[in-house]
Amino acid sequence: DERGADCALVFDAGMLDPDTPALTVATRGMVFAHLTVRTGERPAHSGMYGGAALNALHALHAVLAAVLPGADGRPPAPLRAGAIPPTPEEVAAWEALPDGASVLAEVGARPADATAAADLYLRTTADASVDVHRIAGGETRTIVPPVVHCDLSVRLAPGQDPPAIEAALQELLRSALPDGAELELRTGLASPSRFDPDSLALRIARDALARACGREPALLRNGGTLPILASFADRGIPAVVSGFGLPQDNFHAPDESFTLAGLELGRRSARALYEDLGAGLARGA
């Protein structure tokens, strides 16, 4: 039932460009992992014991090598299990989007490998990815570090099961752990989501955004994670997910910003959405 309260509005996404609004029809989930690798009781002198004493940073490198992308730029197969591949229509729609090299350059990033730019939309919206966010350990003196900490995440594509991917991650990490090293692992899970763009609520939203912004919205998967959307999807509640940020707003950076033009577009779009959803859902058309 898509009537009344059984439709959710979420403004937490960006525009395709300054003139083109976007509707998010899928988001990725996540397995976030805090790792602690321990290889000794205290720091050891690297001159006296280096090469013989197990180094926590070396052990961590071995563990990470088991889960980081391979030569093809993709994570190991167990971490990609269950992903729903994009439809031919989605792949065709990507051709109208800005090219991957431009998208990366706009945020000051460089391609991860030779095919990363060409595969940007597949890798960031329809496949799993692994990123290391933080490594902390060692000292600026000649020791063999006995402990190191690391945070990493696996972004999950629609269709993937967080507990299953968590188990696969644990198996890959622990299987690569050198003898004598200990691994402590704490994780947090969030599910991916996917919504039918032909559902009543999203059809109404497409028309409302076009009316407010003067241009038909692009239908996109979003590489980010919004756990509440999975809860809506599990209950059959369609979610209208849009937003008015741009890459130059520097999402998640210390100088994150939001333009006044985006604020005005958001105001007009929110009004149009509430008006059209209220009228459309009431008549069921």
Q: SS in 3 state form for the chain?
A: CCCCCCCEEEECCECCECCECEEEEEECEEEEEEEEEECCCCCEEHHHHCCCCCCHHHHHHHHHHCCCCCCCCCCCHHHCCCCCCCCHHHHHHHCCCCCHHHHHHHCCCCCCCCCCCCCHHHHHHCCCEEEEEEEEECCCCCEECCEEEEEEEEEECCCCCHHHHHHHHHHHHHHCCCCCCEEEEEEEEECCEECCCCCHHHHHHHHHHHHHHCCCCEEEEECCCCHHHHHHHHCCCCEEEECCECHHHCCCCCCCCCCHHHHHHHHHHHHHHHHHHHHHHHHCC
What average pLDDT does range 136-165 have in this prediction?
Answer: 97
Side chain identity, residue 283: R
Q: Read off the pLDDT band of 13 (50, 70, 90).
A: low
Q: Read off the pLDDT band of 257 (50, 70, 90).
A: confident
Assess whether pLDDT exceeds 60 at residue 2.
no
Assess whether pLDDT exceeds 50 at residue 1.
no
Who wins on pLDDT, 168 or 284?
168
For residue 138, what are its two tokens?
């060692």
State the average pLDDT for the chain.
90
What average pLDDT does range 83-88 have in this prediction?
Answer: 91
**Segment 169-189, tens digit of pLDDT:** 999 999 999 999 999 999 999
Q: Read off the pLDDT band of 4 (50, 70, 90).
A: very low
Q: Read off the pLDDT band of 10 (50, 70, 90).
A: low
